[in-house]
Structure 1
Amino acid sequence: MLRSVLRLHKAVATPLASPFRAAARLHTVPELPYTVSSGVTPLLSPAALKVIYSDHQTGLVNRLNELIAGTPYDDKLYYEVLMDSARSLNETQIFNNASQAWNNDFFLRSLSSTPAAMSDALSKRIAESFGNVEVFKREFTTSALGLFGSGWTWLVEDKDGRLVLLNTYNAGSPHHRRRMQREDETSTDHDLASGAQNPYSGASKFSAPAKLMANNSYIPILCVSMWEHAYMTDYGITREGRQQYLDNFFKTVDWSVVEGRVFRAGGF
């Protein structure tokens, strides 16, 4: 099992560490609500999902465990590692691996081969910000295709409950204004109130405890990976291939999952 492999890996890498301490806070790759062997039809073939999840995600978590072994981080929850390392420019490697793994999990957890349709309530909420759902999809796709290099395109809620689009580059995260890695390299003062709810409760081992949401800049609602490894296996590297990847992305978004992440301004 993956947990056993990762425990052995950490024990070998840090032979002087207490095995009880190492096992207690060891980060593992959360299981998805679908199997790699089934893929996510029509977006990701089993081969593509293996690259994204089995190979890339496992590598990120393994590397993170190596980086935090023997540091104060190895007693922290996953989301604490992400947020605390975001505040320090001296811990970029820790942040990059933590943020990239979180982003990847969030992306994959939004997908389904049998997705729930968008509810009228969510459709209305999107229309309030974009005019209608088709305009939103078109602007989201245009934003994703406009990424020059690797990154993520997000639908997020701002502090006033508005739904907006955001691109982050590399391992950039919407969770912290210092680490968005936006193209314009600008920051924002949008922060959550200290009593904010937790939209990730029970979602996965990467979930954020509600008390830790206080320093966020935006609430992520939906994202798509525009890293080359996410689309090259099935679609190649052309713009036409990436367009098809994004078209299929919207065919596999589970809108019930997305709706469960919307909670600001009274939710609906």
Structure 2
Amino acid sequence: MLSRVISKRSLYTTPEFTTTVLPPVYKTQEQFDLVRKSQHNHLVNQLNAKVCQTKLEPLTPYQIMEKIRDDKSKASLFNTCSHLVNNHLFITNIIPSDNVVEENVVQQRLMGHFEVETMGEVINKMVTAMNDKIIGQGFCFIIEDSNGDIVPIFSNNAGTVISDNLDLKYMDVDLNGGLLGVNEYLKLYDRMHNIKRSLNRKEKDKRNRVFGSKEGKIEGSYNRILACINLWDYAFIKDYGIGYKAREQYFINCMENLNWEVVNKRYNF
């Protein structure tokens, strides 16, 4: 009789985000180490504690998110995985590269999206959007959406814009971000209803049979993350201070010093 082999992995560990120079985004090594070591290790330890001795233990953060996406009782674990993934993406696209990007397609398409001629104008518009969308903590993503457009999108708290390619829920809408008026809540309700429909497999299959796979897509059902900027206080507070102005300057420096080689590789992958 063959015995059942149970596959187990070791504990999640904090990766070595190695770089010979301090990313220009940061003024001190202490602040950079807080993001890439202390906080990232904290998130890794949280994940280990939450999945230890459970059926989720052998799974990657992506797989865990896929597994628990519809289980409201696992919201805290989903957020830990999401935050961990987001911060990893952020670190890898702010570590500088020695290579020059000859054709920065993502930058060009961002300028096309905003109908402007310079990245400075793009950044100014994104700063305005950030102050309008983010209440407290969050992330900024540059994504390729379901229409193939390159657009920025903001997510409060530990929200993710990873969705249908991994059967994940779409979390650009977050009601935990702060107090909103009645009209705003009604808009969010409508948005969440559309998202729920777009990620419902039966609804999606029904649309695909009627319209074909492309025409059956609904906004938010297919996204690729090209860049991520961590807007949580811990990501900048030691170097920039507190308040909207501090966050604005930090965000501008992130946009001006993104590793566009990494971003364009994600786009061309």
Q: TM exceeds 0.5?
A: yes
- Give the 3-state SS of the residue equivalent to 2:19 in structure 1: coil
Please tell me whether the aligned partners of residues 123 and 252 of structure 2 are also in contact (alpha carbons under 8 angstroms).
no
Query: Which shows bigger deviation, 81-90 or 111-120?
Result: 111-120
Aligned counterpart for 1:112 among listed residues 95, 107, 117: 95
Structure 2 residue 223 is the aligned partner of structure 1 residue 218:
yes
CA shift at 1:102, angstroms? 0.5
Structure 2 residue 237 is the aligned partner of structure 1 residue 232:
yes
Q: What are the ranges of 5 or more consecutive residues in structure 1 without an aligned counterpart?
A: 1-19, 192-214
In structure 2, the residue matched to 1:69 is 52
Structure 2 residue 254 is the aligned partner of structure 1 residue 244:
no
In structure 1, the residue matched to 2:34 is 51
For residues 88 and 127 of structure 1, the distance between their equivalents in structure 2, rounded to whole angstroms, comes to: 39
Cα RMSD between the aligned structures? 2.6
Please tell me whether the aligned partners of residues 156 and 164 of structure 1 are also in contact (alpha carbons under 8 angstroms).
yes
For residues 149 and 12 of structure 2, the distance between their equivalents in structure 1, rounded to whole angstroms, comes to: 33
Residues 61/216 of structure 1: CA separation in 2 closer, same or farther (3 Å cut): farther
CA shift at 1:179, angstroms? 4.7
For residues 40 and 121 of structure 1, the distance between their equivalents in structure 2, rounded to whole angstroms, comes to: 22
Structure 2 residue 127 is the aligned partner of structure 1 residue 127:
no
Please tell me whether the aligned partners of residues 154 and 221 of structure 1 are also in contact (alpha carbons under 8 angstroms).
yes
- Give the 3-state SS of the residue equivalent to 2:95 in structure 1: coil
Residues 44/119 of structure 1: CA separation in 2 closer, same or farther (3 Å cut): farther
Aligned counterpart for 1:136 among listed residues 122, 137, 145: 122
Residues 60/138 of structure 1: CA separation in 2 closer, same or farther (3 Å cut): same
Tell me the TM-score normalised to structure 1 length: 0.72
Which residue identity lines up with residue 157 of structure 1 in the other structure? Answer: E
Residues 44/74 of structure 1: CA separation in 2 closer, same or farther (3 Å cut): farther
- Give the 3-state SS of the residue equivalent to 1:164 in structure 2: strand
In structure 1, the residue matched to 2:215 is none
Please tell me whether the aligned partners of residues 25 and 76 of structure 1 are also in contact (alpha carbons under 8 angstroms).
no
- Give the 3-state SS of the residue equivalent to 1:73 in structure 2: coil
CA shift at 1:244, angstroms? 1.6
Number of aligned residue pairs: 219
- Give the 3-state SS of the residue equivalent to 2:169 in structure 1: helix
Aligned counterpart for 2:162 among listed residues 131, 153, 175: 175
Is the radius of gyration larger for structure 1 or structure 2?
2
Please tell me whether the aligned partners of residues 152 and 168 of structure 1 are also in contact (alpha carbons under 8 angstroms).
yes
- Give the 3-state SS of the residue equivalent to 1:75 in structure 2: coil
In structure 1, the residue matched to 2:15 is 30
Percent same amino acid at aligned positions?
21
Q: What are the ranges of 5 or more consecutive residues in structure 2 without an aligned counterpart?
A: 1-5, 175-187, 200-219
In structure 1, the residue matched to 2:265 is 260
Residues 223/117 of structure 1: CA separation in 2 closer, same or farther (3 Å cut): same
In structure 1, the residue matched to 2:137 is 150
CA shift at 1:48, angstroms? 0.7
In structure 2, the residue matched to 1:212 is none
CA shift at 1:220, angstroms? 1.1
